[in-house]
A and B are shown apart, each in its own frame.
Chain A
């Protein structure tokens, strides 16, 4: 990497080398049978160069010919992409508090034991499907730049997931357990999921009406995606954000705070973003007041403000970090916890639905905050009890209007696929359309 940086610098460029190394293994079981076994060992190098206010990029999975990679970046530079920023000098730092070397030695036999144990905890599922999976992996990100940064961030992750899938669907409810060294399942959490699953098996036709809606952590991305798109410096710079003139205004319920804090979490914490900028707690919404337009180096320079450590590679659905350029990102943001237990929130629902899965969350007018999703599954609640799941139902609205109607926030966050945890949020008087 140092040689690559030197070659780029010898062409009169400021340069940044972003490299990754990742290893992972995983095993899936469906209804007691092992259905998928896979592993990967991947690496990659991405080069970004700056010269005369312009930027060029190039990347490869196999760094064999450094001169060729630099030549590709120089060809990209010729296109004339404007870049008014410089790379930060963050010194030499290695952050490995979320890395456990013993995970390197875990493999298929250990993951097989984990899925077998998790399957036993759930027991036999007589209706629907039980899917359990376990996996582990290690990753290392290194950022070198000509300003002097030499940053290494290592992490390890072990996870296990149990999903109970409703008959005739591929949607269900589940538990995710994860940590940097192990993923010991909590039996009480598994029992609660099993109980809710059985209570929600009957299908209920609810018709069209307004009711209380509880967003579970698993469906929270449908809301945070829209908040993130509107509060990005990209949307502000392009003057298309619906929050354009609303900084320091009350936009959503005072019960809600939405904060990016990469230093928080059970694993995967980050001291620096993918551009080498030190991360910090960035409140996007604080008690419902819109506080911060988050950015990356590029948009910070365009808007003449400081970078906030929210420049990450990867899109909404992940993607190849090596191939993607850093962009303003809320990949480490979540809602702050509230003061109600899940059971207390459930008791507040005379009639309503728990949105456990959002079908089609990607197809509304995301920038505007419009949302129209299938409830899949949507657990139907009457008098504080889960009594079934809704059949062919959708909910729709504008998230700013919906989040103004928050009446309770759960007092504990839960992990989901995104690695970042959220509490459940209860909303009042939401339009639900059913068959």
Chain B
């Protein structure tokens, strides 16, 4: 395939051209309650062509090989339409790479029969349905196995397979008119081993859903909070991570100024790392979708901005080193700057010591999605507890937090000594990235706006 892509590139009058071809094999099994809703495997493929010409840059997506030459022509036309439009694009220099990469899998999902995957999903699902007050589940087995081929007019030619599996969904508890749900997920990028013998996880989630039926909505207001590692991951992703993506700030001059490397925007205790190369982690890959080797990037050290995530285009725009973070959802999308795995470094306190330092406030647990908008962010917690005098009291629900990047990073006061990374990724920045992993320790943050109901 790489030779075929090289042939498609040859003869172009673009200053630079690349083609990514991808075969995406998916296996999905879905269950709602005790009813199997979907089960099957599919294979799809497509091409993404990008061209740079006279300072203009354009991308074209096609699904049929017969349309690739038309796509090449259209991409060059698009680049020409952009040229002279007030912004000149260039791509940062990179070394030419020729490589082929396969993941290290503990149980290759491609070799496991569909019926075994259904059986595994059903076993966890049935376990949850048997618990008291559990009215329903919506659970899925998801396997995404991508084989990517990338070739550029500079001579780079890379094949890389990335494979992600997960079992997850929601468990719903109901009593009278009250319905509460909790998310559950296990998974990773290291094969079927990540999914096996995980009964304890699903049992715990069903119990939490039941306990939420007796929880009161949190009262809206401003609180000091401790957030657990799952929520820290979402928080770091939403509150800080997106602002370390160069494309988010590049056309926003005030934000770009505030996010200058060397700026002190966090408290002294805050160190944040983007490390996509952690073995077995859900975000793992070796080359991004521009053929650039991914690097581990310290984004913030002791509160000082030290790095940023880039595509070749944004690295040239900012005159900063390439990082290998230009990633596409699949063959249907052009690559954009994305986080791989991002985490907050742990501290030295135990969780009990952290809660004691909190004194009165909220202990909030497990991410329920988040969103960012410029300096502002929001993220939800699946459940939480009122804390009085450092002691955990009654459970609360319906928790959403809103804040501002710059004030919140200065309000991070302390962390505990246990770092955990997410098993399943997910970020919807224009396109879905299931390899967006995150994590951290439990963290004490002062003065957070919490919206209850």
Residue numbers of A with Cβ under 8 A of B are 25, 27, 29-35, 37-44, 56-62, 72-73, 75-76, 78-82, 107-109, 111-112, 129, 165-171, 208, 234, 238-240, 242, 317, 320, 322-323, 325, 357, 359-365, 367-368, 370-374, 376, 392-398, 431, 433-435
Residue in A72, A81, A168, A239 whose beta carbon sits within 8 Å of that of B255 in the complex: A168
Q: Is B124 part of the contact surface with A, judged by Cβ < 8 Å?
A: no
Q: Is B4 part of the contact surface with A, judged by Cβ < 8 Å?
A: no
Tell me whether B404 and A392 are in contact (CB under 8 A).
yes
Name which of B29-37, B261-269, B293-301, B320-328 contacts chain A. B29-37
The smallest beta-carbon distance between B118 and chain A, in angstroms, is 6
Tell me whether A359 and B376 are in contact (CB under 8 A).
yes
Tell me whether A57 and B38 are in contact (CB under 8 A).
yes
Q: A38 vs B328: C-alpha distance in the bound complex, in angstroms?
A: 14
In the assembled complex, which residues on chain B have CB atoms less than 8 Å from the CB atom of A43?
Answer: 63-64
Residue numbers of B with Cβ under 8 A of A are 26, 29, 32-33, 35-46, 56-65, 67, 70-71, 74-75, 77-82, 85-87, 114-115, 118, 135-136, 172, 174, 177-181, 217, 220-222, 248, 251-252, 254-255, 331-332, 334, 368-380, 397-400, 402-404, 428, 449-453
Tell me whether B26 and A33 are in contact (CB under 8 A).
no
Tell me whether A41 and B62 are in contact (CB under 8 A).
yes
Tell me whether B180 and A365 are in contact (CB under 8 A).
yes
Instruction: Find the B residue at minimum CB distance from A325.
Output: B38
In the assembled complex, which residues on chain B have CB atoms less than 8 Å from the CB atom of A395?
Answer: 451
Q: Of B39, B45, B368, which is in contact with the most chain A CB atoms at under 10 Å from its CB?
A: B39
Tell me whether B402 and A58 are in contact (CB under 8 A).
no
Q: A125 vs B145: C-alpha distance in the bound complex, in angstroms?
A: 46
Tell me whether A39 and B61 are in contact (CB under 8 A).
yes
Q: A434 vs B376: C-alpha distance in the bound complex, in angstroms?
A: 13
What are 7 of the A-B contact pairs (CB < 8 Å)? A34-B86, A38-B334, A234-B32, A240-B135, A360-B400, A362-B371, A394-B450
Q: A240-B172, A323-B26, A363-B400 are in contact. Are A169 and B376 (CB under 8 A)?
A: yes
In the assembled complex, which residues on chain A have CB atoms less than 8 Å from the CB atom of B78?
Answer: 25, 37-39, 108
Tell me whether B378 and A359 are in contact (CB under 8 A).
yes
Residue in A40, A109, A376, A396 whose beta carbon sits within 8 Å of that of B451 in the complex: A396
The 6 nearest A-B residue pairs measured at CB: A363-B380, A34-B85, A169-B374, A76-B40, A394-B451, A79-B39
Instruction: Find the A residue at minimum CB distance from B39.
Output: A79
The smallest beta-carbon distance between B101 and chain A, in angstroms, is 24
Tell me whether A360 and B378 are in contact (CB under 8 A).
yes
Tell me whether A394 and B44 are in contact (CB under 8 A).
no
Tell me whether B453 and A363 are in contact (CB under 8 A).
no
In the assembled complex, which residues on chain B have CB atoms less than 8 Å from the CB atom of A322?
Answer: 44
Tell me whether A357 and B39 are in contact (CB under 8 A).
no
Tell me whether A396 and B87 are in contact (CB under 8 A).
no
In the assembled complex, which residues on chain B have CB atoms less than 8 Å from the CB atom of A363?
Answer: 368-371, 378-380, 400
Tell me whether B32 and A397 are in contact (CB under 8 A).
no
In the assembled complex, which residues on chain A have CB atoms less than 8 Å from the CB atom of B59?
Answer: 37-39
Tell me whether A359 and B115 are in contact (CB under 8 A).
no
Q: A414 vs B42: C-alpha distance in the bound complex, in angstroms?
A: 39
Q: A40-B61, A392-B403, A396-B400 are in contact. Are A59 and B44 (CB under 8 A)?
A: yes
In the assembled complex, which residues on chain B have CB atoms less than 8 Å from the CB atom of A370?
Answer: 217, 398, 453
Tell me whether A81 and B37 are in contact (CB under 8 A).
yes
Tell me whether B252 and A433 are in contact (CB under 8 A).
no
In the assembled complex, which residues on chain A have CB atoms less than 8 Å from the CB atom of B62?
Answer: 40-42
Tell me whether A372 and B221 are in contact (CB under 8 A).
no
Tell me whether A76 and B39 are in contact (CB under 8 A).
yes
Tell me whether A367 and B181 are in contact (CB under 8 A).
yes
Tell me whether A169 and B453 are in contact (CB under 8 A).
no
Tell me whether A323 and B42 are in contact (CB under 8 A).
yes
Q: A81 vs B398: C-alpha distance in the bound complex, in angstroms?
A: 35
Given A37-B59, A41-B71, 14 more pairs with CB closer than 8 A? A25-B78, A27-B82, A32-B86, A38-B78, A39-B59, A39-B60, A40-B332, A62-B63, A81-B39, A323-B42, A359-B377, A367-B179, A374-B402, A396-B452
The smallest beta-carbon distance between A393 and chain B, in angstroms, is 8
In the assembled complex, which residues on chain B have CB atoms less than 8 Å from the CB atom of A30?
Answer: 251
Q: A60 vs B42: C-alpha distance in the bound complex, in angstroms?
A: 7
In the assembled complex, which residues on chain A have CB atoms less than 8 Å from the CB atom of B370?
Answer: 360, 363
Instruction: Find the B residue at minimum CB distance from A29.
Output: B85
Q: A184 vs B262: C-alpha distance in the bound complex, in angstroms?
A: 46
The smallest beta-carbon distance between B313 and chain A, in angstroms, is 10
Q: A44 vs B334: C-alpha distance in the bound complex, in angstroms?
A: 19
Q: A75 vs B397: C-alpha distance in the bound complex, in angstroms?
A: 43
In the assembled complex, which residues on chain B have CB atoms less than 8 Å from the CB atom of A435?
Answer: 222, 449
In the assembled complex, which residues on chain B have CB atoms less than 8 Å from the CB atom of A31?
Answer: 251
Tell me whether B32 and A240 are in contact (CB under 8 A).
no
Q: A171 vs B373: C-alpha distance in the bound complex, in angstroms?
A: 6
Residue in A37, A238, A393 whose beta carbon sits within 8 Å of that of B82 in the complex: A37
Tell me whether A129 and B251 are in contact (CB under 8 A).
yes
Tell me whether B38 and A81 are in contact (CB under 8 A).
yes
In the assembled complex, which residues on chain B have CB atoms less than 8 Å from the CB atom of A112?
Answer: 81, 85
Tell me whether A392 and B37 are in contact (CB under 8 A).
no
Q: A32 vs B85: C-alpha distance in the bound complex, in angstroms?
A: 8
In the assembled complex, which residues on chain B have CB atoms less than 8 Å from the CB atom of A397?
Answer: 453
Instruction: Find the B residue at minimum CB distance from A398.
Output: B453
Q: A31 vs B174: C-alpha distance in the bound complex, in angstroms?
A: 51
Tell me whether A433 and B220 are in contact (CB under 8 A).
yes
